[in-house]
Amino acid sequence: MTSKTLAKNIAQLMLSIKGSNVVLLDLKKLSNATDYFVICSADSDTQVRAIADAIRGGMEDQGVSLYHHEGYHGLTWVILDYVDVVAHVFHKESRSFYNLDRLWSDAKRTDILDDLAMPEASKRTSTARKKPAVSAARKRKTEKAK
């Protein structure tokens, strides 16, 4: 599994437990320590633990071993180190305080959106763009031309 795939899988696990503001930071050109940071926010320490546990369980199910972890005692910032990818699960206030997004602002940033959270109107709009609808007036005009 590539580090990018691993990072995306971790991001999806974060979203599965309703982690918010999920971001991938590509650090390959900036640091030798890791390839990606995957960062998310949680509303409570209970949610921080739930997200971290979901990542650990999901990665274990995929055969990916955790190298190191920190922060389970305080539950304001849990770090899960998978060597090539480091997951950061923040309580919202801690994320704002430590501001890794700004600290690593030179990194290529990818915001990960939850497709399931997309409003129905947006889903219809995006589908309509893929397959353009023919207006009724245009259909009549085409039929008259035949």
At residue 115 the predicted structure's pLDDT band, cuts being 50, 70 and 90, is low
pLDDT on residue 143: 52
pLDDT tens, residue by residue, 79-97: 999 999 999 999 999 999 9
pLDDT on residue 93: 94
pLDDT tens, residue by residue, 3-57: 999 999 999 999 999 999 999 999 999 999 999 999 999 999 999 999 999 999 9
- What is the distance between the alpha carbons of residues 60 and 64, in angstroms, rounded to a whole number? 5
Which CATH number goes with the domain that contains 105?
3.30.460.10
Total-model pTM: 0.77
11 within domain boundaries:
yes
Retrieve residue 20's tokens. 């918010």
More confident residue, 126 or 109: 109
125 within domain boundaries:
no
134 within domain boundaries:
no
Q: Ramachandran region of residue 18, left (φ > 0), alpha (ψ -120 to 50) or beta?
A: left
Are residues 80 and 4 in contact, defined by beta-carbon separation less than 8 angstroms? Answer: no
19 within domain boundaries:
yes
104 within domain boundaries:
yes
In which domain, by residue range, is 109 found? 3-117
Residue 100 CB neighbours (<10 A): 16
pLDDT on residue 45: 93
H/E element, 26: strand 20-26
Number of domains in the chain: 1
132 within domain boundaries:
no
33 within domain boundaries:
yes
24 within domain boundaries:
yes
